[in-house]
Chain A
Amino acid sequence: MDIITTIDLTKKFNDFTAVDHISFSIKKGEIFGFLGPNGAGKTTTIKMLTTLLYPTEGSATLSDFDIIKERDDVRQKIGVVFQEPALDTELTGKENLDFHARMYGLSKDKRKNRINDVLQLVDLVEKKDVLVKNYSGGMKRRLEIARGLMHYPTVLFLDEPTLGLDSQTRRAIWEYIKKMNKEEDTTIFLTTHYMDEADYLCDRVGIIDKGKILVIDTIQNLKNSVGNDVITLSCSELDKFTKRLEKEDWIKNIKRHDLHLTLGVEKGEEKIPAIFEIAHKLKIKIKSISVRKPTLDDVFLHFTGRTMRDFEPESPMKEMAKFYNRRR
């Protein structure tokens, strides 16, 4: 059964199309992930599905309620953890949770239990009476997630849930999300930049870029579409080599990226000698080569022509590396 269905869902901000006629559906009880670079339209999609933004065009239903005409009904069914902070910083952590619990109609006993539970989960018990404005960034994030997990919605939206958290907390939250999904049959719609997160949590993922969904499938199927194995190599005369390799029909696909070639093949280990042979004939020197199982990164590269890392501007070291590579 489908719990969310969208038809040509579109959002324009003035002339700019942030979400461009996307149609997809999500099954009840699954963990679905949206994977995409900055500005792909993930948050905008979530905001439309959670009734915070009006679609410019198209429509969607959630639990059979129309997101435009039956907004109050839709809101009965959902929980959201926003990407951007949505806490009242003038209240304490506990007061924020209490506010949420009351807004969602939890009874007195339940309120107390749930608040304690989730505070424990995110390890904020000691800080519960501190004003949120005195929390660190990570603590705020943890509180926010705790709040989102407090009531049991039919569909839980998590917009980049673990962004900026340490790995231990991430793990704990992943486990909790899985548990919630299993025990409460909560459908989970998450967005993420982290391939490992999507890999670990999601039953199916959709890759979204520039407001369009490029592909939706189970992670296994997506990986299979790249090839059983992935060979990555770097060499001299990359263009020439690429042209030559394109003639080989045992290579399922070739992607060039920066100074690397990525080949999707079957039985990768057995193909390495063949590659060397071809290189040798062309007098091309292979500098490095590796074989591995495909990851979501490869899937992403395959469908968008870029890797997820290309979009991350954060690391100055990477900028330097690029500069250095270019000069060589």
Chain B
Amino acid sequence: MMGREFQAIYVMWLRQMKRFVRAKSRIVASIVQPLFFLFILGSGFRVATFEGVSGDYLHFLAPGIITMAIMFSSMFTGVSVLWDKQFGFLQEVLVAPIKRTSIILGRTLGGATTALLQGFIILIISIALGVRIPDIFGFILMLIMMVLISFTAVGFGLIIATKMNDFQGFQIIMNLIIMPLFFLSSAFFPISESLPAWLKAISFANPLFYMVDGMRGSLTGANNVFPPLVDFLVVFFVCIVMMSLGSYFFSKSEA
């Protein structure tokens, strides 16, 4: 019985790998877009001085861009359940004698694999551009953070996919919620004293802030607001909540 669940998780994962490898344009876009951000923002703001940024701006920016790449790619995996719904394939998955948790696990692992792949490509490019990794424990913590960020985003995508019936809803959530939260996550500029108090409040209530701050703290060990372990605990908690909600809504959904 357990064997079957593993088999199912594996084949769900395999399917996503196959689809990912075949969607060439998506691979290119998902890597090129964050690189644009890295280069354009990186060179544009290089000369600017931000309160709370010490050293090269690129080192400040890189962890934010890696987070962004992983987030968007994973969210896309969660939301792509909508595609399966529209193409009817979700029915095939949902009538199979497989536990809902295995289906979600397979999908999440598939999403995480592709997202981490993209994250690593950006990481390697950042290192090539001069970002240095000061210590190995930080690096390991960053890897764990990457996985947690990915899982969180897949969970969030699942919630959207099960609550919406079309892509417009997804677009609206992307533009009106995710993008603003990203700007307030310190990915591009620090949350400094000069921001209005209410914006600062939103920033510190923003889970994305802890993801970016944690990535920054663990990867570069500079410019972070909280100790990486604190960020880690917050992200871990958010991850559990999102995955649970996503799984709950998914297992209750109709096809």
Contact = CB atoms under 8 A, between A and B. Distances in A.
Interface of A: 47, 50-54, 72, 75-76, 78, 80, 82, 84-91, 95, 98-100, 102-105, 147
Interface stretch (B10-18, B60-68, B69-77, B225-233): B10-18
B87 A76 contact: no
Contacts of A50: 95
Contacts of B11: 98-99, 102-103
B178 to A, nearest CB: 26
B99 interface: yes
Given A88-B15, A95-B18, A99-B11, A52 B97 contact: no
Interface string B72-111: 0000000000000001111111111111000000000000
A266 to B, nearest CB: 47
Interface stretch (B1-9, B142-150, B207-215): B1-9
Interface string B37-76: 0000000000000000000000000000000000000000
A160 B28 CA distance: 41
Given A75-B97, A102-B8, A102-B10, A91 B91 contact: no
Contacts of A99: 11, 15
B97 A102 contact: no
Given A50-B95, A75-B96, 4 more contacts: A53-B255, A80-B91, A87-B92, A90-B23
6 contacts: A86-B92, A88-B15, A90-B18, A95-B15, A102-B11, A103-B7
A86 B15 contact: no
B99 A72 contact: yes
A82 B254 contact: no
A60 to B, nearest CB: 15
A150 B228 CA distance: 51
Contact of A91 (B8, B18, B94, B254): B18
B88 A104 contact: no
Interface in B223-245: none
Contact of B4 (A80, A95, A105): A105
A51 B254 CA distance: 8
B18 A105 contact: no
A53 to B, nearest CB: 5
Contact of B255 (A52, A75, A103): A52
Contacts, number: 79
Interface residues of B, number: 26
A104 B94 contact: no
A88 B19 CA distance: 10
A85 B89 CA distance: 8
Dominant secondary structure at the B interface: helix
Given A52-B255, A76-B97, A86 B91 contact: yes
Contact of A103 (B88, B93, B254): B93
Nearest to A105: B4
A178 B232 CA distance: 59
A105 B91 contact: no
Given A88-B15, A91-B18, A104 B89 contact: no
B22 A90 contact: yes
Contacts of B93: 103
A90 B10 contact: no
Nearest to A82: B91
A103 B96 contact: yes
Contacts of A88: 15, 19, 87, 89, 92
A80 B92 CA distance: 8
B61 to A, nearest CB: 34
A103 B8 contact: yes
Contacts of A82: 88, 91-92
Given A82-B88, A85-B87, A86-B89, A103 B18 contact: no
- Residue among A89, A103, A147 with most chain B CB within 10 A: A103
A202 B157 CA distance: 44
A253 to B, nearest CB: 41
A52 B98 contact: no
Nearest to B7: A102
A82 B7 CA distance: 23
A72 B23 CA distance: 33
Contacts of B90: 86
Q: Which 9 A-B pairs have the closest CB atoms?
A: A105-B4, A102-B11, A86-B88, A103-B96, A76-B97, A86-B92, A75-B97, A52-B255, A86-B91
A99 B95 CA distance: 13
A78 B18 contact: no
Nearest to B98: A103
A105 B23 CA distance: 28
A88 B93 CA distance: 11
Contacts of A86: 87-92
A88 to B, nearest CB: 5
